Each structure stands twice: as structure tokens, then as C-alpha cells.
Amino acid sequence: MTLPIGSLDHSSEFPLYRQLYASIRSLIEKGRIPKGGRLPATRELAGQLGLNRATISAAYELLEAEGLISGHVGRGSFVAGGARRAGVNWRENVGSSAPSSGAPASAPLASFSSSRPSELLFPLDEFRETCDDVLASGEAQAILQLGSPAGYAPLRRYLLEQARAEGVARESDDILITSGCQQAFHLLQSILVRAGDNVLLEDPVYPGMKNVFQRSGARLTAIPVGADGLDLHAFERAASEHPRLIAVTSNFQNPTGATFRLGARRSLLEIAQASGVIVIENDIYGALVYEGDPLPSIKQLDASGDTILLRSFSKIAFPGLRVGWVIGPRPLIERLTEVKQWTDLHTDQLSQAILLRFAQSGRLERHRQRMLAAGRERLAAVMDACRRFLPPEVEFTHPRGGMSLWLRLPEPLDAGELLPRAEREGVTYLPGKYFAVSRPETRGLRISFASMAPGQIRSGIAVLGRIFKNELERVRAQSPLAEAPAMV
Amino acid sequence: MTLPIGSLDHSSEFPLYRQLYASIRSLIEKGRIPKGGRLPATRELAGQLGLNRATISAAYELLEAEGLISGHVGRGSFVAGGARRAGVNWRENVGSSAPSSGAPASAPLASFSSSRPSELLFPLDEFRETCDDVLASGEAQAILQLGSPAGYAPLRRYLLEQARAEGVARESDDILITSGCQQAFHLLQSILVRAGDNVLLEDPVYPGMKNVFQRSGARLTAIPVGADGLDLHAFERAASEHPRLIAVTSNFQNPTGATFRLGARRSLLEIAQASGVIVIENDIYGALVYEGDPLPSIKQLDASGDTILLRSFSKIAFPGLRVGWVIGPRPLIERLTEVKQWTDLHTDQLSQAILLRFAQSGRLERHRQRMLAAGRERLAAVMDACRRFLPPEVEFTHPRGGMSLWLRLPEPLDAGELLPRAEREGVTYLPGKYFAVSRPETRGLRISFASMAPGQIRSGIAVLGRIFKNELERVRAQSPLAEAPAMV
């Protein structure tokens, strides 16, 4: 049989097997796969969906663990007769969740799980015009030919001049174009970090940053991030052990949305310079300021010129085009460029040329203004919805820009355990465990609001508010029992 | 002063400082910078050309070492008065070279140094149509949005189906889209090779392949490549020590142009399987067969399914779009995909979608047929010119496709030492030392013929033939002295 599985979101940080699991669960719950019905073999479904068999198996295992299907060696997997196996959290969840509102789980009500711009806001006509301009220019042949490891020269010049005009780049700085910021981190890791080196990371942090340093065998030291950014006292203590580097997000940190205050930026530089710690400033959200004025970057404040700055087009414009850049001291950039060459020769040149033209023609800035207007509205919607719909015990940050905020549930709620309940009502988010460096914050969760319209944001937060409230009431109703004296 | 330096070729394997050196030398020799004239400061020229200062310094050092300029601390670098410092090879070269034909060195007569398709053959109109199709489709938004680490799903399906239809991919295989083949090697190295592992490489070999494994700390074992490909006896000896892997080019190897015969492909597989060596088949030139029939790939012949196959669009179509792919056993591809995600999230999606459309619309195959026609003509021209113009003592391979052939000069000629003489006459090539794994073949050099028209190929080979002949005559005139009995 062919399962009517909608398209899965490959770019979500939310694993495919969980998405698939949620889709199949929804089909079972809606009776679209009958009780006793046979699921396709893993190989067959893998072929149908263009996924790995391991992904299918993981989804089936989860369904089986929850008693929704049962597997018989050699015969296949069958939808269970409604009788569920003992699975403590699951049963409790089912027991306490409100009846489904009828919203199909395969067409989510609100997905708060991806920190990216909405494709509905992409200015497609302007993008097409930009492509036409690039391909009609005398440069077309050179653009489609092999390019330079350092990047497309006109783009490098444009970005470097802009950074110099802004006061961000100095004479002693140079620039490397990378295939997005993730690659910039990868290249920096590969030349700066050796196994056993001590690397300081924000905690919680975007998993891509943790993974890239973890893979190099570095020892990761977590520096907590609060509503105002990095905990400077913790950084000072960690810096006294002369770690190799610190990677820090100055604006609208992923996942907390926190922004580092001006004074704190200066203090961070002082501490870093006194202890010889390399500072990598990740500033991919800095152009998305919805409230207040932009602050000077750490790089700009750094008179020594040693700070390494990472920026990208991906959070404003078209993330499917992988173009980011690193600005830093020339000897570092030279070494990075060499490593870049043996990593992938150079970044895709058509995309570099298109984004340059998009910027130079003024279209990027016009688009950014539209993104700011949309972002401002969306931020207002999510803040308003959090205040209105979340139980007062839930804490949340108030970002001034970017794409995400951070919720902290009251004890003893667990954001990971509550997720399946939210998914059943068509709402997704990423629980804190995905972002943990050292302390898995089971009560934390990330709400990425930038890719949805205000109405959708409000409906989604309302659902979460109800689930959190119900769960709080449930555990409170139980707690007197738990607090009763033990029977002896 | 602003030097009238033409644009340098960033994508050439020929270092920028040498290109710059050649340009400035030509300006000096043509009197366009007067004797005693001051060269721009390195910083100034670096800014003007968008290059690193180190590149400028290296070019100046070379000019100074050859007595063409002299530097005075604090004052700058000045064009020397024509008096050259003692520089053994240089003086000899100048002494014996024919007077310049008047061809400006800044507009080379023939550049045999880059193994890439000619941009003059790019079908720009068809490329524009393809872009328009992609951006007019309902998929445009999704293409510009963040994608999947494994690659753009429709492209993956297309390539995998094609590989299955061809018999190259099995049911147990899967595919990962990479940012060109260089990245495929980088990813394979990062999951398969640990420091100290023994890796077998062809010798001579494309430097990108050597570098990627060298950087992982692998122990490189060189397996000589002759006119018929890899030396199987040497492979068998090396395989008995159970190395980790062998990277082998089945068709039109870079730099030798050698193709592995069918029987040799089977023998290689037998040896590899008996000793448990992983086979990585690099087949980026395989679609460019100019003479004879294509042979089945090693991957296709491998009943075990274990061979890992690398292919790419770059040698046929638009190398500025960085899209290649790896086909291999599913567990390997899954692991590679995971590493790919933390390396650069995913390959540029616009380029993937354009190349898919270019292929599906039949334009790629039509373009390939034109490339085959041009390649056939160019191969015939280079072979004919080699036979006519090279002294009979020069050996050369006869490739049946691809982009390069390999010349071996007679003793005691040194291809690296003769290069400046060729450059002065507007002809470039890459000397053997760039391709050496263990034995620097000073007599070898690579001639990449695919990017030039037949007339240009003939003129270039004629120049090289004359230089090699003159040098042979010169050393022969000297040799009776060298062979005279020592005076006692």
C-alpha cells in the first residue's frame, strides 16, 4: 500500500524520523490506515519517500514503542488494535490531552521549529530580474567557469568595502566567502582547534555550532546565556584557564534570542584579550533589528583587530543559496582560504554573483526593509500571545530582533515530553535538549516565530498555552499524593 | 603608479604569485615600466588587484631573485638597470631563448595549465532558458529555501535512477549530492581516514586529491600510473599491507590521461576485495570519451557493491556551479550525509535545480555531444602537434578522452626549469612536481588541451617543441666536456 505521507521538511532541525512518525501516527489516529492494516516494508517506504531505510525503521520503532503498531518478523508491521502497550508518558499524555481539534497533524497549525525566513516573503520577481541581469552581463561566462577559493572577487570587494565603511573591517582584515556560516565554523575549527583544546560555547546554543567543535575532539566548556546574553562571570572564570577560543552570538542568539549589551561587549573583549582567547563573533541575525537601535559589533569595538566576524545572507534572503563570509586578520584569512580550496575548491559562483547583484541593485535593502516590517509584526504577535496564552509560571525571553525566543516551563514540566502532545495538535517546537552543551535544560524550548504569519503564531501559542496549563493542573492535582507521608 | 596588470586566473592550479610575476616581468621587458621606475608598494598593489600582500611579496621576491628589480628598505622596489644578478638557471634561459616573438606574455599564446572546459563553449542561451524554467516553476520558493543535507531530492532521485538504469548503482546503494568532487573527497577522508592510516594514491595525481588525504595525516603510498593506468603489480604489493583505501581514476586520469583497461579494472577489484581495501573510483572525466567505446565503471563491475563512485557535472558543463555526487553503500552515504550537514548544511540548491533541469530537458546531453565534438578535434590537434613538433626524444601519452596528456622529457631536461622560458613566449603548462605523491618527476609535465581551439593548441605545442629541442641541443653541445676525463 502507498501511504499518503505529505512532504517532510528536510531542512528542519527536527529529525525526519520524528516527522515521519508524526505523519503515520496521524494517519492511524484518523483511521486512514485501518486497525490490523499492514504498513509498507521499510525498503518500500524508503523508496517511495526518497529516505533512508534507517529513517523509516526509526519511525516504526517509535510507533511500536508506543503500541501503535506491532512488528512480526518476516511478515511486516501492522496497525495495532487500539490496545496500547504500557508506555508511561505516552499513556499519561493521551489520557490528559484534549480531544483533537480536528486540525490535521500532517498540515501543521504552527511550526515553531525552524529558524529561517518564510519563503512566502521571497521576492521572486526581483530574484528573477537579478538572475536575468547576471546572465545577460558580460560576466556570465566567467561566473559559470571555475572561480577563486577566496570567493567571487567583485563580491569580496563589495562586502569588504561595506564592512570598512561601517567601521567593522580594518586595513589589516581580509575576507573569505564561505558556503554559508556553517562552513565558516567548519573551516575555523579545522585550522584553529586540535583535539583536547578547550572551546567555550554559549549554552544553550545552535546544535550546528556544538557539533562542528565536538567533531574536532575539542573539550567544550558551556558558558550560560541569559536574557542579556553570555554570563560574563562564567566567561571570566573559564577564560582564566586560557581556552583556545570562544564563539559568541552578539545579536539575537539562537536559540535564546538574547542580545549582548554594549558594555558587556566591551567587557568580553577585555577578558578575552587579557587571557588570549580568540573571539569568533557569529552575527547572522544582526541585520534583523525589529526594536531599538543596532549595536556596534564586537568586531567593530575590538581595537586589536583580532576578532573574527561571521555573517551571511541566509537569514535575510534566500538560504537555499549557500553564501556567507568571514572577516578577520589577513594571515588567518589566507590560511582559511587554503583550507577552503581543498575542502570544496570554492563557493558556488552563480549564487555569489546573484546575491552581489541583488545587493548592489538596492533590492536586498528593500527586501530587508520588508523583512523588518514583517519581523516586527511577528515579534509583536508572539510576545503578545505569550503574555496572553501562556500560564504565568512560564518564563520567556523578549528578543528585539532575529527569529527565536526561549521559553522555560515551571518544574516539573519537561518540554521534550510535552512535544508529542503539541504535535498531535499540529504545533511543533524544538525542546531544550537539542541546544544543550553541558546542562540539558529539560524545561527549555525554542520558539522560532519568523517564518509564520501573526495569526498562525497566535493560534500556535494558544495551543501550547493550553497544553502547558493542563499539564500543570494535572501534576498539581497529583502532587498532594506524592507529598503524603510514606505508608509504614 | 598603477600597473596595467591584466586579470589573473584565480582558478588556475598555477600559483597567483607566479602569474603576477610573469605579468610584471613582461611589463619590464617591454619597457612599460622604465628602468629605475618604482613599483607600487605591496599593500597598494594588493589593494588594486584584490590579492593578499603575501602574494605580491612572493612575486616581488622572485623578480628580485632574478635581478629584474631591487628593493630598498623603506624606499620601495625599483626596476633594475638591466643588469641581472647571478641566477644560474635564469641566465642560461635568457641566453638560449629565441628573441621574443612579440607575443605579449600578458595575453598568453596557449595556456595548457588548467583542466577545465572552455567557457567559450558554454551554451549561455540554453543556460538562461533553464534558469527561467526553474524560477518560473512552482518549485522556485522551495528551491530558494533551506534544503536537505543529502541534496535536492528531485536531483538525487534523477541521478540515482539514471545510475541504476546504467547498472552502476545497486539497490543497496544511495547517493549524496556534494559541492563538487573535491568536497566528496574531503567528506570521505573525514569519515574513512584517521591519522597514520595508509592511503594508496595514483602517482602522479591531481594535487587536490593528494592534499585532502595529506591533511588528514594519512600515510600516502604512491602507486605509479603508466599509459594504461595504475601499475597493478605495485598495487598488489601495497595491498598486501592492508591499506585503508585506494583512490583510483578509471577514465582519462588527471594528469596522465591514462585509462584503465577492462581486465585491469577486474583485477583491481579482485586484489582490493582479497585484501579488504576500500575502492574510491573518481570518474569525473568518464562522460568525455572521444575515441573508442566507454568502458563499464569499476563500480559497475563490483558485484560486492562496495566501490564508492564519484561523479560531477563540472567537467562537462558549468564548473562555477559546484555540484558533484557520491554513490555508495547506504550506511556510508548516511554517515557522509551527517558529516555534510555539519560541514556546510547542504549544497547550493539553486545550482542543483538548474543542473537537474538542464539534464532533464535534454540540454545537457546536447551540450555533451558538442563537447565531445570539440574534444575530439582538440585531442586530434594536440596529438598531431606532439608528433610533428616535439623532438622524438619526448614521450607522451595518448588519451582517448578527458582533458590532459602527460609529456616526459628526455634526460637531463627539467620541465620546471624550462617553464619560465615557455612563459616568456606565452605558453604555460604544469610541471610534474605539482602532481608528485612520492617521486617528483622533474621530466614530466601536464598538457591540458580541452580549453583551447585547435590552432592555439598547435601554436603552443610548436613553441614547446622548439624550446625542448634548443635545450636538448644546448646540453648535448656541453656534454662532451662533462664526459671528458677528470683532469688529474
From chain A, the residues in CB contact with B127 under 8 A are 135, 140, 144
**Is the per-residue pLDDT at B100 higher than 50?**
no
Nearest to A157 among B50, B186, B342 (CB): B50
Contact B348 A208 (CB under 8 A): no
Distance from CA of A398 to the nearest CA of B (A): 26
Contact B153 A50 (CB under 8 A): yes
Say how many CB pairs under 8 Å bridge A and B. 198
Q: For residue B286, what pLDDT is reported?
A: 95
The secondary structure of chain A in percent helix, strand, coil, rounded to multiples of 5, reads 45, 15, 40
Q: How confident is the model at residue A424 (pLDDT cuts 50, 70, 90)?
A: very high
Q: Higher model confidence: residue A317 or residue A183?
A: A183
Q: How many CB atoms lie within 10 A of CB B177?
A: 30
**Is the per-residue pLDDT at B12 higher than 70?**
no
Place of cell 563573533: A281
pLDDT > 70: what percent of chain A? 89
Place of cell 591499506: B243
Distance from CA of A230 to the nearest CA of B (A): 24
pLDDT digit string, tens, across residues A185-209: 999 999 999 999 999 999 999 999 9
- 3-state DSSP assignment of residue A288: coil
Report the residue of B43, B144, B434 to disrupt the A interface, i.e. the one with the largest count of A CBs within 10 Å: B144
Nearest to A345 among B149, B182, B351 (CB): B182
**Contact predicate A246/A232, CB 8 Å:** no
Average pLDDT for B216-241: 94
Contact A351 B351 (CB under 8 A): yes
Q: For residue B175, what pLDDT is reported?
A: 98
From chain A, the residues in CB contact with B120 under 8 A are 141
**Is the per-residue pLDDT at A290 higher than 70?**
yes
**Is the per-residue pLDDT at A88 higher than 50?**
no
Please, what's the largest Cα pairwise distance for chain B? 89
Q: For residue B1, what pLDDT is reported?
A: 57
**Is the per-residue pLDDT at A43 higher than 50?**
yes
Q: For residue A98, what pLDDT is reported?
A: 30
How does the average pLDDT of chain B come out, rounded?
88
Q: For residue B99, what pLDDT is reported?
A: 31
Q: For residue A78, what pLDDT is reported?
A: 81
Is the CA virtual torsion A50, A55, A56, A57 positive or negative? positive
Nearest to B350 among A141, A347, A350 (CB): A350
Nearest to A53 among B146, B330, B339 (CB): B330
Nearest to B124 among A140, A330, A341 (CB): A140
- CATH classification for the domain delimited by B365-482, as one of 3.90.1150.10, 3.20.20.210, 3.30.360.10, 3.50.50.60: 3.90.1150.10
Could you name the CATH architecture of A124-360? 3-Layer(aba) Sandwich (3.40)
pLDDT digit string, tens, across residues A296-317: 999 999 999 999 999 999 999 9
Domain with CATH 3.90.1150.10 in chain A: 365-483
Which superfamily is assigned to A365-483 in CATH? Aspartate Aminotransferase, domain 1 (3.90.1150.10)
Q: How confident is the model at residue B208 (pLDDT cuts 50, 70, 90)?
A: very high
Q: Which of A92-101, A214-223, A229-238, B280-289 has the lowest mean pLDDT?
A: A92-101
Nearest to A183 among B114, B344, B349 (CB): B344
Q: For residue B196, what pLDDT is reported?
A: 94
Average pLDDT for B234-257: 96
Q: How confident is the model at residue B103 (pLDDT cuts 50, 70, 90)?
A: very low
Nearest to B179 among A144, A150, A179 (CB): A179
Q: For residue A97, what pLDDT is reported?
A: 28
Q: How confident is the model at residue A171 (pLDDT cuts 50, 70, 90)?
A: very high
From chain B, the residues in CB contact with A179 under 8 A are 179, 344, 347-348
Taking phi over 0 as left and psi of -120 to 50 as alpha, with beta for the rest, B329 belongs to: beta
How does the average pLDDT of chain A come out, rounded?
88
Distance from CA of A193 to the nearest CA of B (A): 14
**Contact predicate A289/A278, CB 8 Å:** no
- CATH classification for the domain delimited by A16-85, as one of 1.10.10.10, 3.40.50.720, 3.40.50.300, 3.40.1360.10: 1.10.10.10
**ipTM higher than threshold 0.85:** no
From chain A, the residues in CB contact with B208 under 8 A are 341-342, 345
Distance from CA of A380 to the nearest CA of B (A): 24
Output the CA angle B445-B450-B454, nearest 5 degrees. Answer: 100
Q: Which of A348-357, B91-100, B335-344 has the lowest mean pLDDT?
A: B91-100
Q: For residue A54, what pLDDT is reported?
A: 73
Q: For residue B394, what pLDDT is reported?
A: 98
Q: For residue B32, what pLDDT is reported?
A: 76
Distance from CA of B404 to the nearest CA of A (A): 17
pLDDT digit string, tens, across residues A222-248: 999 988 899 999 999 999 999 999 999
Distance from CA of A87 to the nearest CA of B (A): 30
From chain B, the residues in CB contact with A215 under 8 A are 339, 342
From chain B, the residues in CB contact with A136 under 8 A are 128
Contact A318 B145 (CB under 8 A): yes
Q: Which helix (H) or strand (E) holds B60?
A: helix B53-65
Q: By CA distance, what is B209's nearest residue in A?
A: A342
Q: For residue A359, what pLDDT is reported?
A: 97
Task: Return the CATH fold of B124-361.
Answer: Aspartate Aminotransferase; domain 2 (3.40.640)
Q: How many CB atoms lie within 10 A of CB A79?
A: 20
Q: Which of A49-58, A108-117, A136-145 has the lowest mean pLDDT?
A: A49-58
Contact A11 B180 (CB under 8 A): no
Q: Which residues in B248-260 are b (16+ Cβ under 10 Å) and which e?
A: bbbbbbbbbbbbb
Instruction: Provide the whole-model pTM.
Output: 0.80
Helix residue ranges per DSSP H, B30-52: 42-49
Average pLDDT for B412-420: 96
Average pLDDT for B266-271: 97
The secondary structure of chain B in percent helix, strand, coil, rounded to multiples of 5, reads 45, 15, 40
Average pLDDT for A5-19: 71
Average pLDDT for A91-96: 24
Distance from CA of B319 to the nearest CA of A (A): 5
pLDDT digit string, tens, across residues B439-486: 788 999 999 999 999 999 999 999 999 999 999 999 999 866 555 555
Query: Distance between CA atoms of A156 and A162, rounded to whole angstroms?
Result: 10
Q: Higher model confidence: residue B351 or residue B40?
A: B351
Output the CA angle A217-A222-A226, nearest 5 degrees. Answer: 150
